[in-house]
Amino acid sequence: MFYTENPNATQSYRRKCIGVVIGNLTTVLLEVYNLGDRKLAFQNAGPLGCVPMSRALSSGCTKELFAMARKHNQVLCIVLQQLESKLSGFKYSILDYYSSLEDTGNNPSKYGQVKL
């Protein structure tokens, strides 16, 4: 996991890592597009700062991981919009997993859960 190996990473390094991930994803998407796929569905990154592993390692939620997930999701949307405008027939949809999970955690009674 990025954070366990780089807990003191600078903002610049975090942005670079997000760029690498998005770059790799873009490469794969272009390969899939060239194979004939035109309509794709995605799930964005969830609120990584509060997943059990993050909480266990830092005794609570990690703001840096929340920020990285949000930034990744922003860049992902931009790249997908760019691909849609450049590639004939390319269409996509995104499940906003981040917001869904965040809302579930912040409003558990709305989903039949009890907040501990």
Total domains present in the chain:
1
Residue 111 lies in a domain: no
Q: Residue 42 sits in which domain range?
A: 10-106
Per-residue pLDDT band for 3 (boundaries 50, 70, 90) equals: low
Residue 37 lies in a domain: yes
Sign, CA dihedral 108-112-115-116, equals: negative
Residue 115 lies in a domain: no
Burial of 28 (0-12, 13-18, 19+ CB in 10 A): exposed
The pLDDT tens digits for 21-55 are 999 999 999 999 999 999 999 999 988 887 777 66
Maximal CA-CA distance, the chain: 49
pTM assigned to the model:
0.82
Residue 99 lies in a domain: yes
Residue 41 lies in a domain: yes
Residue 116 lies in a domain: no
Beta strands in the chain, from DSSP E residues, in sequence order: 39-43, 91-95
